[in-house]
Amino acid sequence: MSKISLSFLLVNIIFIYTVRAQTKVIFKLEDQQNKAIPYASIRIIPGNSGTITNANGFFEIKFSNQEGFDQIQISCIGYKSKLLSIDSLLKRNKNNQVISITLNKQSYQLQEVIIRKQEVLKNAKQIVVNAINELPNLLDTAAHIGKYYFKQSHKLDTSISRLIEAAVSIYDPGIHKNINECKFNIDQLQSSLDNRKADYKSILRSYLISRKKKWHLGDPRIKTNSSYKDTLIQRYLIEDLDHSKASFSKFFTSTNMIRSIEKGRRKKSLRINPFFTNGRPIITDSFTKEHLFKLDCILMYNNEAVYKIKILPNKRYPKIKYMQDSKIPIGFMYVRIKDFAFLYLDYGYINNPNYKYSKGRLKHYFRFKVKYEQFNKHLYLCYLFSDRFDYTSDLTRRRRVIQELSLSKIINNQDIISKQVNTLNWKGDIYEKLPYNQEFWNNYSTMLPTDEEQLLKINLIKEIQKKKK
């Protein structure tokens, strides 16, 4: 090969390598009727990294030369998975336009009792019991660290008053360890915007009652003779409220019903979920006694059959504090047939239509979504979602606080884990003030905001800027 040809080849290789390092591509995932497919899993191959589609089916990948991956796998329950090469996608990336990808629906009728020589159980409760029993065998027993994108927004109808966006690390010591032994670190902060209007008079009154009854000791700087008009007291109150009601660790432990399993849990042990009088619901044997289950259909996920099971209340369903029987649980769970692996849970409480004081639509009082993805031989959390009334809300419960967590990477290398455990601070404080790192976010694949979410963020920034003038 001549020197000129060799030089030309090297220049082309360097060019392609550089383009890959700097390429950012946005995709839209649709079905055959051009309807968006939300919350589908996007996995980078090889490796343990990925993202998910947003509510409108969009996702973004920033191709970095440090990743060394060649393909992306796109999967969603009820659809046929796709494996696409990075090079083929880059060739379609003309003028930085959004690339559309279509998935085909894939499901079975309940009458088909044999799927690839796998016998299908028709007893929905037994399926759930089997899935609970198999959890310790399917979740990782070894320590691992998950890298996630986190978002928290405080919403009222068509506006938001608080927004936090961050890159976070979660250290999990393994499924046989208690969920409260997990550690949390805020790696980088993208946004921390606050334009809330709080009723500090009511907050201070509730705060002092809580301290008097020893429910919550709180900030020692807040005294019984403190004035709610004092700006410092207002800051202490809202900071304490944020940390006690919506800390990152509480969001993880109270929402992640699948990871929260505990054997031999005593009545006086720490309550996992603060919504409930007895700390439930979590996916344990008690869950099968407190709900009814109905097999809805059989879907496909990554070319494997999955049960879709309806969750309904029975007479022993877990009660929410101070709510009596006005709210009832409802939801879906998706369980893989071959090994009874929990893949996805969508669970929440709605207004009880049979309760004498119930009014209006059957809207969710709160809602949890938990999604697990398999990497190598184990299942790992890839998406966590919580939507509930805001703790600074009035009695109408119109204000909501929404928290989301989407996977970016799983680390299993014990040397890397040990190093990060010793170097990161693991405070897990999402309200901490951190400097914005533009270089980090330029190379970080977040869960894309929808157009509505982006507009709400822009409007929030404008409102804050008006106040400063």
What pLDDT score was predicted for residue 5? 47
Find the mean pLDDT for residues 325-335.
Answer: 89
| Cα–Cα dist 245/228, whole Å | 19
Find the mean pLDDT for residues 243-268.
Answer: 74
Q: Residue with structure tokens 């709610």?
A: 228
232 falls within a domain: yes
pLDDT at position 304 over 80:
yes
355 falls within a domain: yes
What pLDDT score was predicted for residue 10? 43
Find the mean pLDDT for residues 27-49.
Answer: 87
pLDDT tens digit string along 167-201?
999 999 998 888 888 999 999 999 999 998 888 88
pLDDT at position 86 over 90:
no
pTM of this structure:
0.85
431 falls within a domain: no
What pLDDT score was predicted for residue 177? 87
pLDDT at position 6 over 80:
no
pLDDT at position 303 over 80:
yes
My answer on whether 207 and 355 are in the same domain is yes
Greatest extent of the chain over all pairs of C-alpha atoms, in Å: 88
How do strand 49-52 and strand 41-45 relate by DSSP bridges?
antiparallel
Residue 339, CA atoms < 13 Å, CB-side half-sphere: 14
134 falls within a domain: yes
My answer on whether 68 and 204 are in the same domain is no
Find the mean pLDDT for residues 51-56.
Answer: 90
| Cα–Cα dist 37/50, whole Å | 17
My answer on whether 295 and 176 are in the same domain is yes
Q: Are 352 and 363 in contact (CB under 8 A)?
A: no
Q: Of 421, 445, 461, which residue constitutes the final position of a domain?
A: 421
My answer on whether 50 and 135 are in the same domain is no
Residue 274: pLDDT band (50, 70, 90) is low
CATH number (domain holding residue 35): 2.60.40.1120
My answer on whether 263 and 407 are in the same domain is yes
Q: Are 44 and 84 in contact (CB under 8 A)?
A: no
Domain count, the chain: 2
What pLDDT score was predicted for residue 207? 84
My answer on whether 98 and 119 are in the same domain is no
What pLDDT score was predicted for residue 8? 44
What pLDDT score was predicted for residue 436? 92
My answer on whether 19 and 130 are in the same domain is no
My answer on whether 98 and 239 are in the same domain is no
pLDDT at position 275 over 70:
no
What pLDDT score was predicted for residue 84? 87
Query: Which residues on adjacent β-strands are paired with residue 258?
Result: none
120 falls within a domain: yes
pLDDT tens digit string along 423-457?
999 999 999 888 999 989 888 878 888 889 999 99
My answer on whether 124 and 233 are in the same domain is yes
Q: Of 421, 440, 458, which residue constitutes the final position of a domain?
A: 421
What pLDDT score was predicted for residue 24? 78
pLDDT at position 56 over 80:
yes
Q: Of 85, 105, 125, which residue constitutes the final position of a domain?
A: 105
Q: Are 302 and 341 in contact (CB under 8 A)?
A: no
Residue 19: pLDDT band (50, 70, 90) is very low
In order, the DSSP letters of 103-145 are: --B-EE-TT--EETTEEPP--HHHHHHHHHHHHHHHB--S-EE
My answer on whether 377 and 414 are in the same domain is yes
My answer on whether 231 and 132 are in the same domain is yes
Most confident of 164-173, 246-255, 357-366, 384-393: 164-173
Provide the residue range defining the domain that includes 59: 3-105
**Average pLDDT taken over every residue of the chain:** 82
172 falls within a domain: yes
428 falls within a domain: no
Most confident of 103-112, 194-203, 215-224, 264-273: 194-203
465 falls within a domain: no
My answer on whether 370 and 392 are in the same domain is yes
